[in-house]
Structure formats: structure tokens, C-alpha cells
A and B are shown apart, each in its own frame.
Chain A
Amino acid sequence: MEAVFSGLATGFAVALDPFNLFLVLAGCFAGTLIGALPGLGPINGVAILLPIAYGLGFGPESALILLAGIYYGAEYGGRISSILLNVPGDASAVMTTLDGNPLARSGNAGRALSLSAVASFVGGTFAVILMSLFAPVIAAFAVTFSPANYVALMVFAFASLASLVGKSTVKTLLGATIGLMLATIGIDANTGIPRFTFGIPDILAGIDFLIVVVGLFGMAELLTLVEHQVSGKLKALPVDKSFVKWADLVVCKWTIIRSSIIGFFIGILPGTGASVASAVAYGTEKRIADKDKTFGTGDIRGLAAPEAANNAAAGGAMVPMLTLGIPGSGTTAILLGALLMFNIQPGPMMFAQRPDVAWGLIASMYIGNVALLVINLPLVGLFARMLTIPQHYLTPLIAILAFIGIYTIVGNPFDLLLITLLGVFGWFLRKLDFSLAPIILGFVLGSLFENNLRRALSISGGDWSILWMDYKSIVLYVLALAVVIAPIWLGMRARKMEGDATHEKV
């Protein structure tokens, strides 16, 4: 504990240096803007700005503080376009659209933005505090997660998402299946055999998550916007001066706390990131809190859950990166690369060898979270005013930004074609009343599930019992069962009590 405090003291001395303080603020602001643009998220923001941070000749701690600020800022910014435009700014903001956009549609855009800023702040700060206290211990535990445990985790994730969205169960299942099918494209990670690539080299490595998200969500949404514009159905959302109320926070407090915990722990696990965290948090909250079936129609808790979780996950993902040198997400992989560029080897020795960098970064996250809240609350009006831009300017602008964003990251013109095709496909699915979220979730969880199942079976030599040989797996299966059964049981009990009540009256 003493080590933690002296470490934090070192860290704050670094982070409060005026120049570094400026970098935190600049990074957070740039990150929020980048995150707000459809298709651009933390991974792209950090990737794009990494060469600049390196090229400007900053010290390693300053460069890393700037990049971490962008990372955090982008996690914050992702919610803005989700709420205002129903186009997720990045993968982890997909869940934010579900309740965020209906809130904005019903005239609560300002309230939704400010509430989500507060939820993001709590999630982010919670993660940083836990991180500085328990980083080494937690990382050591996460590393013991075997492929079989991951299988159980995925089962839990699927179970918590089972009733997620969509009016029709069949369509939800079909959507998830489409996602699973998309995930099988590319070279099979276990045997190295190309699957469903039809001789096209561009999809040998599979379809990038970003492409699917931008295509299915971004492009399909734009096509719908254009369609509404042509048919004259589109009404500009009213800009309002609504703001988060104390009552909202009171309603959301347990949601935010639960989601922060979920987000942080999922963030730590290597290979799962903020997108899985926000999905699991949303699913869990829907199970626990959605008694009146208001989730998906603009419930503030449905907005707070994914926002708290994805910011907590962003912090969680830093834990294995800093303490073990194992990145927990794509963005932390790039930050790891940044450290290596500065000749700093992340890993168990980093806290001992370069405490200024390790603790400076952690301290900058405390400052960054406060800065983001301060930037985001007063600027709510500014962001909400984005909607007053006439649609015939906004639609092509978003399309251009999405195309530029994708091209900057993937640098392959084929993928531009792919997002267009996926956009048309997504637009047809929307016409058929499909919800697009199950497709994305099938896509993400499906490949994790398949790869880990096959790893587990390779380890056991084909013996399926490895899947339930471990207490961690069993705990997760029990939880999975609980989230499926609990609502049914609660529902039955409620109906029974209702029945009893009517009976008594008679």
C-alpha cells in the first residue's frame, strides 16, 4: 500500500508538470473529437497520432500521456454520435445507441449526453483507482484464465445478451447467425486453412471488426437517412437545453457501479475489449433492472450501463499491458508499440525500472478523467448543436469522414467497397425489421468462442470435460444460467402474485 502511494506521488509529480498537464488536456479534447466522428475510435486515434507524438521529440512519459489522453477521450467521444446520430463512433459505443438515441429523439439529447459523461467519468475513475491499487495482483489472476474459462465467459456473454434486442426472437437468432458466418471468413486461426475467401486475398485475414461496424451501422444508417430525406420523412431532432438531474443519477447509481465493475474486469482479460464489456454490462442491466421493459426505448439506465462499462474497460485493458507487457485490446497493443519505440519494455520490470513512466501514466488518467468531465459537461450544448446542421450537409460529411477514417486505418481500397456492400446489406436488413446489434455481437463473440473452444479441445486432446473442470468455468456457467432463469422466474412470480391478488378480490 505504501508503494502505491509513493508511486502515485511520483506519478502526480510527472503528470502535473505544466507541459504534461497541457498534453493531457489536448489529448482528451482531440480524443473526444476523434471518438465523436463515426467510424473513428480510440484505436484509430492513437494509431494516427502515434507518429506525430514520436516525431515531435517528446519524452516517453509525455508522449504516452498524450496518447493515453486520446485513448480515454475517444472512449468518451464515442457516445456523442451514438446518441445524436444513432451511428456508433466506435465499436464500444454500439450499445450506447440502443437507449441513447431514443432519448435524444424524445427531446432529451442534452440530458443523455451529460448523463453519459457522468457515467463515463465514474467508470473511468473507478477503473483507475482499482488499477493503481491492485494492478499486479489482478493481472496475475487474469493470466490464469485458460481457453476453457474463456469458453465459459463467452457462454455467459451470450446468455446475458440472449434477450438483448429485437422484437422477434427468430430474427435475433438469425442476426447472430449472420454475425457468426461473417466471423468465419478468413484464415482459420487453428489450422491455417482459408475459409470462405473465394480466392480474394483481401479477406484472407478475415473482415476487420471496424469494417463490419462502419458498414452495417454507419453506411446502413446513412442510406436510411438519405431514404428519409428523399421521401421527406426526416425530421431534424429538436435541440434542447435539458441536463442531467440528480434524480437521474440516483436512479442510475447501482447500474453505474455494477457496470464499472463488469467493464473493468472484462477489460483486463486479454483479447476482450470495451465492446464486449459494454455489451455484457448492457445485457446484465437489462436482466437486472429492466422490470418495465423500457430498455431500448430510451431508458437512462440502458445508456449509463454501456458508457460506464466501456470507460472502465479502457482502464482495465491497461493493467495487463503495463504489468505484464500483454495488451488487453487493440488500442493497448498500439500503446505497447509506442513504449517499445521509446525503448521501454513494458512488463513486470517497468514499475521498478521506469516508475516515472508507469506511474506518470496512471496519474495522468486521474487527471484525464476529471478533464474529460469538465470538457464534456459544458460542451454538451455545442455537441448537441451538431444536429442543427442540415441533413443534406451532414449526411455526405459523415460518409466522407467514415470513408477517410476507414482508409486511414486499413489503407486498402477493397475495404471501402466492402463497407459499401455491407451498408446496402444492412439497409435491407433494416427494411426487414432486423436489429443489427445481434449481428455485431455474433461477429465478435463468435470468433472468440470458436477459437477458445478449439484451443481448449486441443489442450485436452479432444476431451470435452475440460470445459467444466475448473471452478472459474463453473462459476461462469452458474452465472449464465442465473441470468437466463432469473427473469423468467421473477416474471412467473410476478404473474402468480398478480393472479393471487385478483383471486383474493374475487
Chain B
Amino acid sequence: MFFTRFSAALVVAAGLAVPAFAQSQIDRPECIAPANPGGGFDLTCRVIQSGLDPHVDAPIQVTFMPGGIGAVAYNLFNSTRTDDGSAVVAFSTGSLLNILTGKYGAFTENDVRWVGTAGADFGAVVVRADSEYTDLSQLMADFSADPASVVVGAGGSVGSQDWMKGALLLREAGATPMDMRYVAFDGGGDAIAALLGGSIEVYTGDVGEMVPHIDAGQMRILAVMSPERLDAPFAEIPTAMEQGFDVEWTILRGFYMGGEVSDADYQKWVDAFNAAYETEEFAAIQKERGLLPLNLAGDALEASIEEQVANLRAIAKEAGLIN
């Protein structure tokens, strides 16, 4: 407790030195990472902690609210802190999936206000460097011939967003997602270890986490699941679309606020996000954190979330996750 306060004081001191220009006046801005330090939500908050700093008049403090894969924070912001105009909470596409499959309780995606994004990540189909699969079509052929002949693994449970990537591939290959031989690991790191160790043949991971591994040459990315080719270091890797398979998986990383936050408070954050998106510094921070640009705030994000949730709901229904 003392240490957090102490570090907050340091951040305040540092913030005072920054010259002021058009900044949103937010009282004690806070970014809540609904998990323990070190994970994806922490990273999401860090992006705006430094990226939004020039555009908000006070430094953004990151606080952690772990509990139930983000359910604790979602429930809190739907029951007690519904009108807290100072706090934004990090979410990802995985959280959307949890919301619509009912893991976050009775609250729906319409009960909070979606405010802005930190960036995006994309799915990646990864095999070992010495794998028999050299392109996606060979894998897809095996999927359609006998889905159970390939062992797929990733860092989430059945029904998680990691599983969804595999399910989409099977669906595209004309197989039933429930026939996939899927192995659930505790996080991407364990799954990569299992891939390198030969326990699983295909890893459905994310592009961002492959950055440190791409030069090492131990793994091969068969396809990225983005709408278009990515920039270096992924420029050489074809998308699934290019290889003739209509599968795409965008992982959105962004923030929501309570449902009863006033329009004025909401707009302050939206303005700060939009101002940050204009700058090269923000783009540099995104890149540093392994995120790709996907900048949406305010109504644009609300619309995008609506579309994404509808899409996810259709897939989840088809995969038998919800009725």
C-alpha cells in the first residue's frame, strides 16, 4: 500500500514537469487492470498511462482489480461504480466473449460505455520450425479430412478466444468445431513450451507474443489472422485470407466505463483518446507493447463493439457454446 502510494507520488512529480497543452481535465484519472500485474490487461493500461499522459491534465494511475477473469471488475462497474467518471477499465476480445457466454453474470455488453482502444492484436497459426506443415492449406486439408488427426493447443480453455481461433479454422475447413482435439494450457507461455516440446502440433496464438520468437527460428507462422498483411517483422507472412481461407481474428484491446457515467465525463476521455491517436508518440508506444494500430474511440468504438459482439455471438452459437 505504502509503496503504491509512493510510486504514485513519483509519477505525480514526473507529471508536473510535462508542459501543458490541450488536455482533458479529469479528476484523478485511473486505469483499472482487472487482473494481477504483468498480464495483458496490465499492458493495456500501460499503453494509455504513457500514451494519454500528454493529453490528460493529471497522470493516470494504474490499479489492479483481479478476480474471476475480469468478472469482479465488470460486476463492480455495473453495480457500485456505475457513474465513476475518473476510471476506465481494460478489456479485450476475450472479455467480450466472457460477457456474451454469461461468465460475467447477468450484465450484457450494453450495460457499460465503451470509451477507447489501446490497439489490436491478431491471431496467428503457429507450428514448429520442423513441422510437416509449410503452409495453411496443408493444415486445412488435414482438418477437413480428419479433424481429430491434428492436436491443437493454446493458452485458454474450450470456449475461450484462443479456442475460437481453432474453431474458426475447423469451420472454414468444413468440420465441426467440437471435433477439434484441443489442449488447454495455462497461458500462452506454457502452450509455446508444449509446441516446442512436441506435445501439440499447432498453436493458435497471437501475433504480439510471437515478436521475441520470430528471429529465433524455432517456430513457423503459417498464417496471420488479420484482414491485411502486417508490417515488419511480419511482412513476409501471408494472411489466412490470402491463402484462400475466410478466417480472421482481431483481438481488440481497449477500455470501458460504467453505464451511468455522464456524457461530459465520457467525452473528456474520448477527446483524450482521439488527441493521442493523432500523435506519433502513441503509435510508438503501441508498437513497443507489441500492439498494432486500431484506433477507435467514442461512437466509433461503440459501433465496432456492437458489430463484433453480434459476430462473436453467431460463432459461439454455431460452435455450441451458447443456445
A 387-419 to B, binary, CB cutoff 8 A, 1 in contact else 0: 000000000000000001001111110100000
Inter-chain CA distance A143–B216, complex, in Å, is 15
Give how many A-B residue pairs fall within 8 Å (CB-CB). Answer: 156
- Closest B residue to A344 by CB, please name it: B212
Contact of B7 with A55 in the complex, beta carbons under 8 Å: yes
Nearest Cβ on chain A to B194's Cβ, whole angstroms: 7
Q: A326-B192, A458-B181 are in contact. List 10 more A-B contacts (CB 8 A).
A: A47-B37, A145-B197, A147-B194, A187-B103, A192-B160, A336-B38, A347-B213, A414-B67, A451-B186, A455-B194
Contact of B198 with A144 in the complex, beta carbons under 8 Å: yes
Inter-chain CA distance A326–B159, complex, in Å, is 24
Instruction: Say which residue of A203, A334, A407 sits within 8 Å of B68 (CB atoms).
Output: A203
Q: Would you call A227 an interface residue if the criterion is a C-beta within 8 Å of the partner chain's C-beta atoms?
A: no
Inter-chain CA distance A143–B74, complex, in Å, is 36
Contact of B75 with A201 in the complex, beta carbons under 8 Å: yes
Among A177-230, those with CB < 8 Å from B are 187-192, 194, 197, 199, 201-205
Do A459 and B183 contact each other (CB < 8 Å), given the known contacts A143-B196, A192-B159, A202-B72?
Answer: yes
Nearest Cβ on chain B to A412's Cβ, whole angstroms: 5
Contact of A52 with B159 in the complex, beta carbons under 8 Å: no
Inter-chain CA distance A52–B10, complex, in Å, is 8
Can you list 18 A-B contacts (CB < 8 A)?
Answer: A143-B193, A144-B197, A146-B194, A146-B198, A189-B186, A192-B160, A201-B105, A270-B190, A271-B186, A325-B212, A326-B189, A327-B189, A336-B38, A345-B212, A346-B212, A411-B64, A458-B181, A459-B181
Do A455 and B184 contact each other (CB < 8 Å), given the known contacts A201-B75, A461-B148?
Answer: yes
Do A458 and B6 contact each other (CB < 8 Å), given the known contacts A202-B67, A324-B193?
Answer: no
Contact of B63 with A349 in the complex, beta carbons under 8 Å: no
Nearest Cβ on chain A to B208's Cβ, whole angstroms: 11
Contact of B67 with A52 in the complex, beta carbons under 8 Å: no
B 145-157 to A, binary, CB cutoff 8 A, 1 in contact else 0: 0001001010011
Contact of A325 with B189 in the complex, beta carbons under 8 Å: yes
**Pairs A-B, 4 closest by C-beta atoms:** A204-B68, A192-B157, A345-B212, A337-B38
B 1-17 to A, binary, CB cutoff 8 A, 1 in contact else 0: 10110110011001000
A 285-328 to B, binary, CB cutoff 8 A, 1 in contact else 0: 00000000000000000000000000000000000100011110
Q: Would you call A499 an interface residue if the criterion is a C-beta within 8 Å of the partner chain's C-beta atoms?
A: no
Contact of A202 with B68 in the complex, beta carbons under 8 Å: yes
Q: Would you call B215 an interface residue if the criterion is a C-beta within 8 Å of the partner chain's C-beta atoms?
A: yes
Q: Would you call B66 an interface residue if the criterion is a C-beta within 8 Å of the partner chain's C-beta atoms?
A: yes
Q: Would you call A348 an interface residue if the criterion is a C-beta within 8 Å of the partner chain's C-beta atoms?
A: yes
Contact of B38 with A143 in the complex, beta carbons under 8 Å: no
Q: Would you call A50 an interface residue if the criterion is a C-beta within 8 Å of the partner chain's C-beta atoms?
A: yes
Contact of B68 with A333 in the complex, beta carbons under 8 Å: no
Do A205 and B196 contact each other (CB < 8 Å), given the known contacts A327-B189, A408-B1, A455-B183?
Answer: no
Among A13-54, those with CB < 8 Å from B are 47-52
On chain A, the residues within 8 Å of B194 by CB distance are 146-147, 455
Q: Would you call B211 an interface residue if the criterion is a C-beta within 8 Å of the partner chain's C-beta atoms?
A: yes
Among A412-432, those with CB < 8 Å from B are 412, 414
Nearest Cβ on chain B to A195's Cβ, whole angstroms: 12
Instruction: Say which residue of B11, B158, B182, B216 sits within 8 Å of A55 (CB atoms).
Output: B11
Do A52 and B103 contact each other (CB < 8 Å), given the known contacts A205-B69, A458-B181?
Answer: no
Nearest Cβ on chain B to A349's Cβ, whole angstroms: 6
Do A459 and B200 contact each other (CB < 8 Å), given the known contacts A51-B3, A205-B69?
Answer: yes
Among B87-144, those with CB < 8 Å from A are 103-105
Among B145-188, those with CB < 8 Å from A are 148, 151, 153, 156-160, 163, 181-186
Q: Would you call B243 an interface residue if the criterion is a C-beta within 8 Å of the partner chain's C-beta atoms?
A: no
Nearest Cβ on chain B to A203's Cβ, whole angstroms: 7
Q: Would you call B199 an interface residue if the criterion is a C-beta within 8 Å of the partner chain's C-beta atoms?
A: yes
**Total contacting residues, chain B, CB less than 8 A:** 59
Q: Would you call A502 an interface residue if the criterion is a C-beta within 8 Å of the partner chain's C-beta atoms?
A: no
B 65-81 to A, binary, CB cutoff 8 A, 1 in contact else 0: 11111011011000000
- Closest A residue to B38 by CB, please name it: A337
The CB with the most chain B CB atoms within 10 A, among A201, A334, A407, is that of: A201
- Closest B residue to A140 by CB, please name it: B196
Nearest Cβ on chain B to A340's Cβ, whole angstroms: 8
Q: Would you call A231 an interface residue if the criterion is a C-beta within 8 Å of the partner chain's C-beta atoms?
A: no
Inter-chain CA distance A414–B65, complex, in Å, is 11
On chain B, the residues within 8 Å of A270 by CB distance are 189-190, 193
Q: Would you call B218 an interface residue if the criterion is a C-beta within 8 Å of the partner chain's C-beta atoms?
A: yes
Nearest Cβ on chain B to A202's Cβ, whole angstroms: 5
Instruction: Say which residue of A187, A334, A412 sits within 8 Å of B38 (CB atoms).
Output: A334
Do A412 and B37 contact each other (CB < 8 Å), given the known contacts A55-B11, A204-B103, A347-B213?
Answer: no
Inter-chain CA distance A409–B216, complex, in Å, is 35
Nearest Cβ on chain A to B3's Cβ, whole angstroms: 5
- Closest B residue to A147 by CB, please name it: B199
Q: Would you call B248 an interface residue if the criterion is a C-beta within 8 Å of the partner chain's C-beta atoms?
A: no
Contact of A461 with B3 in the complex, beta carbons under 8 Å: no
- Closest A residue to B201 by CB, please name it: A459
On chain B, the residues within 8 Å of A410 by CB distance are 36, 66-67
Inter-chain CA distance A407–B2, complex, in Å, is 12
Among A88-102, those with CB < 8 Å from B are none
Contact of A204 with B215 in the complex, beta carbons under 8 Å: no
Inter-chain CA distance A333–B185, complex, in Å, is 16
Contact of B37 with A50 in the complex, beta carbons under 8 Å: yes
